[in-house]
Chains A and B, each alone.
Chain A
Amino acid sequence: MSRKLNSLLLAMLVLTAAMGLKTIVTAHSNTPVVVANAGGPTPPTPW
C-alpha cells in the first residue's frame, strides 16, 4: 500500500515540477510552445 501511495506522490510531484517549469519558461509570452514531433514546419496556431 505504501508503495502505491509513493507512486501517486511521485506522479504528483513530477506534475507539479513540470507545470512549474512550464510556467517559468513561458512567463510573459503568448506564443505557443515549440512542438516538433516528426517532420514538417510548424503552422501558426488557429487563434
Chain B
Amino acid sequence: MLGPADYVLWFLTALLEAGVVLCALKRHSFRRYLALNIYMLGSLVVTILRFWVFSHYGFSSAQYLYFYFYSDALLTVGLYFALITLFSYVLSELQTGRYVRLAAIVLLAGTAFFSYQVIQQSSDRMLTRFVIELSQNLYFVGLVLTYLLWGAILKLRETRAQIIQLVLSLGLYFSAFAATYALRNLYPGLHLVWGHLPQVIALSLPLAWAYTIWRIPVEARLAPARLAVVSR
C-alpha cells in the first residue's frame, strides 16, 4: 500500500522531468543536449505510463512489476548513451569521436555479456533476470564512467560551466545510489528510509539539470582545475 509521500514524490518527479524538457526548449538547448533531453522526455513518459499501469492493475500486480523493471532497463541504457554524449562534448577537441563510440559499444556489449553470464544458471524468468541484472550493472558502469569523465574534465581543463554541472549532477546521482545500497546492507531495518530515499535521489537529477539549463548561460565558463589545486 502506498502512502501520501509516495504519491508526492511520484508527482514531483514527473513535474521536474517535464521542467527539464521545458527549460531546454525555452533556452533553445534541446538539440544541444539532445541525448540528455530525449532521456528526460523518455523518463517523463515512463513516469506517466507507470502511474497508468499502477492505477489500472495495482502496485502488487505482475503488470506493474514487469513494466517497472523493463522500462528501468531501457532508461538506464538511455542514460548510458546520454553520458557517452557528454564524453563526446568533453573530448571533442581531441577528434576522438569514433573511438568514444567504439569504446561505448564494446563496453555496453561487454556489460550485456557479463550480465548474461551471471544469470545463465537461472532456470526461470531468464529475460527478466537479465534485464534487471543489466540495469544494475549499467548503473555501476555509469558510476565509473562519470568519475572517468570528471578526471578528463580536470585533465583537459574543460571550462564550460553547463557541461561541468551536468557531469557533477550525474556523479552525485550515481554515487548516492551506490552509497544508499551499501548503507541499506549495513542497516536493513530502516525500511521507511530505504523505501523513499531512492525516489528522493532520483529527484536530484532532473532538478540539477533543470537548474543548469535554466540558470547557467551556454557561454558561462568555470575553471574546475582550480578545485584540484591547493591554495597557498
Q: Is B120 an interface residue (CB 8 A)?
A: no
Q: Is B29 an interface residue (CB 8 A)?
A: no
The answer, among B9, B71, B75, B136, for a CB contact under 8 Å with A22, is B136
Q: Is the CB of B107 within 8 A of A40?
A: no
Residues in A with CB closer than 8 Å to B42 are 38
A7 to chain B, nearest CB (A): 4
The answer, among B72, B148, B184, for a CB contact under 8 Å with A38, is B72
Q: Is B89 an interface residue (CB 8 A)?
A: no
Known A-B contacts A8-B106, A18-B143, A40-B54; the reply to A35 vs B99 at CB < 8 A is: no
Q: Is the CB of A40 within 8 A of B10?
A: yes
Rounded to whole angstroms, the CA-CA distance of A18 and B107 in the bound complex is 11
Across the interface, name the chain B residue whose C-beta is closest to A29.
B185
Rounded to whole angstroms, the CA-CA distance of A15 and B118 in the bound complex is 14
Interface of A: prevailing SS: loop
Q: Is B135 an interface residue (CB 8 A)?
A: yes
Residues in A with CB closer than 8 Å to B195 are 41
Q: Is the CB of B51 within 8 A of A3?
A: no
Q: Is the CB of A37 within 8 A of B136?
A: no
A45 to chain B, nearest CB (A): 7
Q: Is B164 an interface residue (CB 8 A)?
A: no
Q: Is the CB of A8 within 8 A of B136?
A: no
Q: Is the CB of B114 within 8 A of A39?
A: no
Q: Is the CB of B198 within 8 A of A36?
A: yes
The answer, among B9, B13, B72, B96, for a CB contact under 8 Å with A35, is B72
Q: Is the CB of A43 within 8 A of B185?
A: no
Q: Is the CB of B54 within 8 A of A34?
A: no
Q: Is the CB of A11 within 8 A of B107?
A: yes
Q: Is B139 an interface residue (CB 8 A)?
A: yes
The answer, among A29, A36, A47, for a CB contact under 8 Å with B177, is A36
The answer, among B10, B46, B125, for a CB contact under 8 Å with A37, is B46
Q: Is B222 an interface residue (CB 8 A)?
A: no
Residues of chain B at the chain A interface (Cβ within 8 Å) = 2, 6, 9-14, 17, 42-44, 46-47, 50-51, 54, 59-60, 62, 64-66, 68-69, 71-72, 75-76, 79, 96, 99-100, 102-104, 106-107, 110-111, 114, 124-125, 128-129, 132, 135-137, 139-141, 143-145, 148, 177-178, 180-182, 184-185, 188, 194-195, 198-199, 201-202
A–B Cβ pairs within 8 angstroms, 6 of them: A4-B102, A7-B103, A14-B141, A25-B178, A37-B46, A39-B47
Residues of chain A at the chain B interface (Cβ within 8 Å) = 3-4, 6-8, 10-12, 14-15, 17-19, 21-22, 25-29, 31-47
